[in-house]
Every structure is written in C-alpha cells, then in structure tokens.
A and B are shown apart, each in its own frame.
Chain A
C-alpha cells in the first residue's frame, strides 16, 4: 500500500496531541505559577526504498512523524503584586514544598491559606513546608514571614495536576520568596493562539495529502488497464 497515506496520518495524529496540549495551556492562562508544555516533533526512522526489480536501493524516505516527549518550559513568569498576606511568589528558580497524602510535592503556585491547626496550607489543604521540612506555623493575626517558607531545587520535575510537581529535591534553590505577590501563568496567549492556528493548518495539509493519495489510488484501482475505446 502507499506509504504516503501513513506518513500523512502520523502527522495528523501528532498535531491532534499538540492541539490538546495547547488547549490545556490556554485553559491555564490564569493559573498562578503554571508552566506551558512543549512537544517538539521528530521524524520516524528512515526506510530504504528499493527499485522495482528489488535489487538496488533507490534512496531513503522518512516514514512519518511523532512527538518527541513533552518538555515543560520552566522559565520564571512575571510576578504580580496582590497585597494578600498569604500570597507568595518565588522570584527566580525553585519550588515551594507541600506535604500531601502521597508524599512531598512541589509547586510554584503560592496562593496559600491557613488550616484550623494554625499551619500554612495550599489550596488543597496540604501543609506548606519550611527549608528543614517542617510545617509552617501561622502567627497571630494570620501572618507568615516570607523567610519561613522553604525554596527547593528540584530534579526530574514532572506535573501531577492541582499545580503540583513530583521530583526529588536537591537542596535550597537560588530563588527568593516575595510576600503579597503571585507568579503569573507562563502561558503567552498570543503565542499559543498562533501555535494553534499553525497546528490546525498542518493538520489540514495532512488531510489534503491523504485525499490526494486516495484519489491516485482510486485511479490506479479503476483506470489502469482499462481499454479506452477508439
């Protein structure tokens, strides 16, 4: 069968996955500390084409395209002043640590609150940790000093949802904590919209290629070898 059909469809599948990621980025355009995902494309293995006699190689052809894994763009986002005493942002590198039921997780979203026990928690109610791994107490009047929060460097960070990252902490990071501020989402809505349009058109080109190859195959199936009168 014609290899071109499968090459074009692999491109469409890759664009569909890319489009889903772009939708997720746009949905999180207001999520504090959110980092957008990137998925570069790579071509599949080259295949050798043989001549019709089957003896000599006629050259090589890429057999399609796929996504080369997902990378999260960890560049620090802009910091917005909110004036809320329990909003924190990290200027520079690093993560806040929170103690979840599944172990320690990390986040750049510093929109925190207090628990009935008087400790600082994230929006899910998980306690925020200081640099030594202990819970952070909220002082009288509901205030916490920015220096009480731990900032951790993280290796192998990957997203877990609820603004949390899993990974292993490798000590203190260089970033500093700012109080009364939130790090804005790293999603550039203009760039994401442009990526979306570009991805849509690539998808459409794949469909056109399939259409064209389909027509060629149809002609091969119905017209080759027919006897033209006259």
Chain B
C-alpha cells in the first residue's frame, strides 16, 4: 500500500540532486578551469507481486548521482598576467595539498608567496616546487608550452602536467582541486597537454543549456509532487470508508 508515495518522493530527491548540480555549475560559470557535472538518472529496484497467476511489477522510483564531469576544453581568456596559465588538452597542474597529498587542478590562476614560491589561488605550492630567485619579478618569467620556466637565461624549473586514466572518478577536495584514488587510477604524466602563459581557461559551463535543464528539473519535481498528492488523496478516500 502506498509504495507510489515513496517512489514519487525518490523522484523528487533525484530531481533535487540534479538541481544541486545545475546550481553548482551556474555558480562556477566564471571559475577558471571549472568543468560542468554530468548527472546520471537511473531507476531503482522492481518488486514483483504475484496474484492469481499474473505478475505485476512495480518500481521503487528513481535516483540521480554525479558520474563525472564534462571534459570539454573551456574558452581561453587572455589576461596578460605572467602567472595566469591555461592547459590546452587533457591534463592537470599538480599542487601539494596541506595534507601532503598531490592535488590536481585546471585552475591556472597562480601567484607567488612571500618566499618566492609559485602557489595556486588557495596557497598550495606547485609540485615539483618552483621558486623565483631573490630580485627576479614574476614579470621577467617566461613559461614555454612544455612547462619550462625561465627568467632571462636561467632555467628555474619545469611545470609538469599530469593526468589519470579515469578523470570522472577524481575526488573533489574543494577550491577546484581534485585528488587521485583507486577508482581514478594513479597519476601519470600528461602526454599531449600544453601550457599557455598569460591566459586562463574559462569554465565550460553552457549557461543556456544549464537554464534549459533547470526548467526540465523543476517540472519533473512538480510532476513527482502531483503524484504524491494523488497517492495521498487515494489514502484519504480509503480512509473515508465507514462501517
């Protein structure tokens, strides 16, 4: 009795999950290197009701989860700042997180800390670390497409880009930084990615598509709520039976 009440409620929860992902995408529309989420809907288990030789199958509703991110390249935005870096192709910058793990990010908005070390927007140093010698300003620094960092005739180091076999399974560690794990596979050098200096990669959020998805999601939520109301009305009708 009233299984439908719960399957409709699961549908509302799934649409809510999709709405959260769309909101996240829209909020990060201006975040450099942000990749929009892919949300997968699926149905839930089916129960079979045998009655007088016929089998009626009823599903338990729906679920939604994020199964990864859209890998499409974001637009290049020229900023002219020496430590704004964009990656062309599949790959990530490597930074050292406070917990000692290697973080992966496509947000190439870097800066220099008090010690002259190149750090990301959250203050995590590049890995392997690169420091500017005393007296060298970031403006004198040149970064080649292969990641080699030079100041004048001196080579300061090389920014090494990395990738993983399954980027969809990377764990978000906040601030646009991701961590590798068993499902994503181990970090390996990025073969085909190149670095562009003085440029940021914009997010790949398509606002028009996100808005269209928002409308569909809201309507789906409404439909499920109507189903709950109908189920409730049926319970109320059954309740009105009096001996």
Contact = CB atoms under 8 A, between A and B. Distances in A.
Interface of A: 12, 15-17, 19-24, 26-32, 34, 37, 39, 42, 44, 66-70, 83-86, 109, 111, 113-118, 123, 125, 140-142, 158-163, 189, 192-193, 196-197, 200, 203-204, 207, 210-211, 214
Interface of B is mostly: mixed
Interface stretch (B100-108, B134-142, B146-154, B227-235): B227-235
Nearest to B49: A17
A140 to B, nearest CB: 7
Given A114-B165, A117-B165, A196-B227, A28 B241 contact: no
A40 to B, nearest CB: 10
Given A123-B65, A161-B43, A27 B8 contact: yes
A141 B12 CA distance: 36
B157 to A, nearest CB: 27
B44 A114 contact: no
Interface string B40-72: 111111100101101111111110110110111
Contacts of A67: 51, 54, 56
Contacts of B128: none
Interface of B: 1-5, 7-8, 10-12, 14-15, 18, 38, 40-46, 49, 51-52, 54-62, 64-65, 67-68, 70-72, 90, 164-169, 182-185, 191-192, 216-217, 219-220, 223-224, 226-228, 230-231, 233-234, 237-238, 240-243
Given A20-B7, A37-B59, A118-B185, 20 more contacts: A23-B7, A23-B231, A24-B4, A26-B8, A26-B226, A27-B12, A30-B41, A37-B58, A67-B51, A69-B56, A116-B183, A116-B184, A117-B185, A140-B191, A159-B46, A161-B46, A162-B42, A163-B43, A196-B226, A207-B237
